[in-house]
Chain A
């Protein structure tokens, strides 16, 4: 029973830690499937988190925070689009730029507006996306095994966490069952064909990066208003890059993206859990190794040792209409 409880707690924190990864990775999925590489997920999520924290603190409403986060993230996504779609600039360079702009401006503006060393003021519980109890969570908690699974693991997460997991089937549906999704995937593989069919490559890609902006805004809001009570400087702490790793690990497919995020979330939760305690067989594992593991796994995957990750064919290549 003790073991089961520990296990459920571990899974519970796995879910919590994988939600921001999931938002960011799904965000990247839209953009990259349309042929626009985006290493600026980190920056957009960070800017979103700042906007969410600032707006929620000023307006006193979690929804205002979410709206601000999504607006700011979409703006940065459009900057990325403007550079890489309209002006056919280097997508990697543009992504790097957005990461720096977000990292610097969140601190500068945060300090200038709130004067708390780059933080936003603490947001009260009522202005955050707090825990949502699923129906019958209390009543069922007495049932052995299934009870704790339901009431501790499935119930009691933030509303945004449920949104994140519902977005997985939704994204699958959009990408593989709608006209928009078909065209989005096509424009990432062969933009010339899409262009020949009379569909605007630029407009499709712009819509894709807007989707990315919306989702990174959600991810940032989750960090600032569900996991924490406000924005703290550099609060994404590389999660945007882990999400990128998850996206590659999942070979740019929605359902595997969820499992990859859960895996990386689990590694994170596990390394927090085992800090200082030796494991059977291997002895003490350094925390730093656990922290580096998602990155190591991604490198190994990319090198083709576990299957092969083939990016969308037109990814990273600006589309030049034939002259």
Chain B
């Protein structure tokens, strides 16, 4: 009789194991740096300094983190319903269309603080709409959500290129992008917040959607752990059969969860489109939808874990850019490797170190892993 998944204390389960997984992921990434012929420790120092060394860098780090909080929450909400939404990339891309349409319509009429709520609605609605079809097919017709959302990423990419080249591009322009939004379609920067703390920020795209991301994280926590809907989502995630028995409408839960997930992914578009570039460009998502998977896995699908995980990835993105500058052998694609390794060790191999850790814990204090109880039975 073996019981590999016996209980560990909570701090080990939620703190120690993710940290070990993360450590191993970075260890392997360090090996890649060695293969390239650079010093991994020096690379790490440059990366951290490049990410948080100056006010400017911190602002950029938080700018990237904003996008990852949204996409990480999107993946996490679906995880709670045991749905794997790989389509965050496509949903964010289409969400950008919602933002752009609102901004192009209202930027000359309304001030930003009136355009912003409309743009939030636009982003969420378009993102949710793009998640709806896979959700409907999963719920009603049983087609696998992973495959459909992957396919929808590609379809979104084709659709957006078509729209930008043929519909949204202003006449006479060559670049496949919309016109630049006027003042009413531009989000105010938050750089003054960092400057108030005594840091200097020359210019960085860190904007008010960061606050929206934090609010979204809080609301997701409320939704998942403090509402009836969240309870149903988690119940469906733990055991679809139990949920069905308890009278949960499975079709409804799957669709609603995916709509929320798609809306969160779509809102990611606010940050780059309205907060930074002020126009809709091809490929503006640049993989943030996929980073969301790593962020959600690392944050164990809890907003309190997702926000730090997103900031860590923001640091990697910003620090990675500096690293590419200092070490020509290492381009920003290093982040893609680290991302993959984090997904591998914190996601697919999350239980690798658990048995070892459990036996270590058992040897120190048998009570904590419940060995005492089984001994008692035998006696």
Residues of A bordering B, CB below 8 Å: 39, 79, 82-84, 87-94, 96-105, 107-109, 111-112, 238, 241, 244-245, 248, 286, 288-289, 291-292, 295-296, 298-299, 302-304, 309, 311, 323
Question: Are A112's CB and B143's CB within 8 A?
Answer: no
Residues of B in contact with A, size category: 35 or more
Chain B, interface SS category: helix
26 contacts between A and B (CB under 8 A): A83-B348, A88-B351, A89-B347, A89-B350, A93-B84, A93-B347, A97-B343, A101-B340, A104-B333, A104-B334, A104-B339, A104-B340, A107-B331, A107-B333, A108-B329, A109-B32, A109-B36, A112-B36, A288-B158, A288-B159, A292-B154, A296-B155, A299-B152, A302-B148, A304-B142, A309-B143
With a cutoff of 8 Å between Cβ atoms, the chain B residues found around residue A96 in the complex are: 86, 290, 293, 340, 343, 347
Q: How far, in Å, is B347 (CB) from chain A's closest CB?
A: 4
- A148 vs B334: C-alpha distance when bound (angstroms): 49
- A105 vs B154: C-alpha distance when bound (angstroms): 23
Q: How far, in Å, is A232 (CB) from chain B's closest CB?
A: 14
Q: Using known A-B contacts A101-B340, A286-B162, A286-B166, determine if residue A295 contacts B155 with beta carbons closer than 8 Å.
A: yes
With a cutoff of 8 Å between Cβ atoms, the chain B residues found around residue A309 in the complex are: 143
Question: Are B86's CB and A83's CB within 8 A?
Answer: no
B344 at the interface (CB under 8 A from A): yes
Q: How far, in Å, is A241 (CB) from chain B's closest CB?
A: 6
- A306 vs B297: C-alpha distance when bound (angstroms): 35
- A108 vs B43: C-alpha distance when bound (angstroms): 14
With a cutoff of 8 Å between Cβ atoms, the chain B residues found around residue A98 in the complex are: 340, 344
Partner of B348, one of A89, A291, A302: A89
* Chain A minimum-CB-distance residue to B136: A303
- A8 vs B322: C-alpha distance when bound (angstroms): 52
With a cutoff of 8 Å between Cβ atoms, the chain A residues found around residue B32 in the complex are: 105, 108-109
Per-residue A-contact encoding for B331-370, CB less than 8 Å = 1, 0 else: 1011111111101100111111000000000000000000
* Chain B minimum-CB-distance residue to A113: B36
Partner of A87, one of B293, B341, B349: B349
- A140 vs B341: C-alpha distance when bound (angstroms): 55
Question: Are B143's CB and A288's CB within 8 A?
Answer: no
Question: Are B336's CB and A103's CB within 8 A?
Answer: yes
B147 at the interface (CB under 8 A from A): yes
Q: Using known A-B contacts A89-B349, A90-B347, determine if residue A108 contacts B158 with beta carbons closer than 8 Å.
A: no
With a cutoff of 8 Å between Cβ atoms, the chain B residues found around residue A245 in the complex are: 147, 151
With a cutoff of 8 Å between Cβ atoms, the chain A residues found around residue B293 in the complex are: 93, 96
With contacts A104-B333, A238-B154 known, what are 17 further pairs, Cβ within 8 A?
A89-B348, A90-B347, A93-B293, A94-B344, A94-B349, A96-B290, A97-B344, A97-B347, A100-B337, A100-B339, A103-B333, A107-B336, A108-B334, A291-B158, A299-B137, A302-B141, A323-B1
Chain A, interface SS category: helix
Residues of B bordering A, CB below 8 Å: 1-3, 32, 35-37, 84, 86, 133-134, 137, 141-144, 146-148, 150-152, 154-155, 158-159, 161-162, 166, 290, 293, 297, 329-331, 333-341, 343-344, 347-352
With a cutoff of 8 Å between Cβ atoms, the chain B residues found around residue A108 in the complex are: 32, 36, 329-331, 333-334, 337
- A302 vs B145: C-alpha distance when bound (angstroms): 10
With a cutoff of 8 Å between Cβ atoms, the chain B residues found around residue A84 in the complex are: 348
Question: Are A92's CB and B336's CB within 8 A?
Answer: no
Question: Are B349's CB and A302's CB within 8 A?
Answer: no
Question: Are A241's CB and B150's CB within 8 A?
Answer: yes
- A295 vs B293: C-alpha distance when bound (angstroms): 22
With a cutoff of 8 Å between Cβ atoms, the chain A residues found around residue B137 in the complex are: 299, 302-303
Kindly count the residue-residue contacts between A and B in the assembled complex, taking CB atoms under 8 Å apart. Answer: 153
- A244 vs B147: C-alpha distance when bound (angstroms): 9
- A87 vs B24: C-alpha distance when bound (angstroms): 16
With a cutoff of 8 Å between Cβ atoms, the chain A residues found around residue B133 in the complex are: 299
Q: Using known A-B contacts A83-B344, A303-B137, determine if residue A112 contacts B162 with beta carbons closer than 8 Å.
A: no
Q: How far, in Å, is A242 (CB) from chain B's closest CB?
A: 9
With a cutoff of 8 Å between Cβ atoms, the chain A residues found around residue B3 in the complex are: 323
Q: How far, in Å, is A293 (CB) from chain B's closest CB?
A: 9
* Chain B minimum-CB-distance residue to A320: B4
- A288 vs B37: C-alpha distance when bound (angstroms): 41
- A96 vs B290: C-alpha distance when bound (angstroms): 9
- A286 vs B159: C-alpha distance when bound (angstroms): 10
Q: Using known A-B contacts A112-B329, A241-B154, A292-B159, determine if residue A105 contacts B147 with beta carbons closer than 8 Å.
A: no
Q: How far, in Å, is B86 (CB) from chain A's closest CB?
A: 7
- A304 vs B84: C-alpha distance when bound (angstroms): 20
Partner of A298, one of B151, B159, B348: B151
Question: Are B348's CB and A93's CB within 8 A?
Answer: yes
With a cutoff of 8 Å between Cβ atoms, the chain B residues found around residue A304 in the complex are: 141-143
- A89 vs B344: C-alpha distance when bound (angstroms): 9
Question: Are A288's CB and B340's CB within 8 A?
Answer: no
Question: Are B143's CB and A100's CB within 8 A?
Answer: no
* Chain B minimum-CB-distance residue to A95: B348
Q: How far, in Å, is B293 (CB) from chain A's closest CB?
A: 6
- A169 vs B119: C-alpha distance when bound (angstroms): 55
Q: How far, in Å, is B144 (CB) from chain A's closest CB?
A: 7
Question: Are A248's CB and B147's CB within 8 A?
Answer: yes
Question: Are A101's CB and B143's CB within 8 A?
Answer: no
- A93 vs B166: C-alpha distance when bound (angstroms): 36
Question: Are A112's CB and B351's CB within 8 A?
Answer: no
Q: Using known A-B contacts A97-B347, A104-B336, determine if residue A111 contacts B147 with beta carbons closer than 8 Å.
A: no
With a cutoff of 8 Å between Cβ atoms, the chain B residues found around residue A302 in the complex are: 137, 141, 143-144, 147-148
Question: Are A89's CB and B86's CB within 8 A?
Answer: no
With a cutoff of 8 Å between Cβ atoms, the chain B residues found around residue A303 in the complex are: 137, 141, 143, 148
- A291 vs B351: C-alpha distance when bound (angstroms): 40
Q: Which 4 A-B pairs have the closest CB atoms?
A: A100-B340, A104-B336, A104-B337, A94-B348
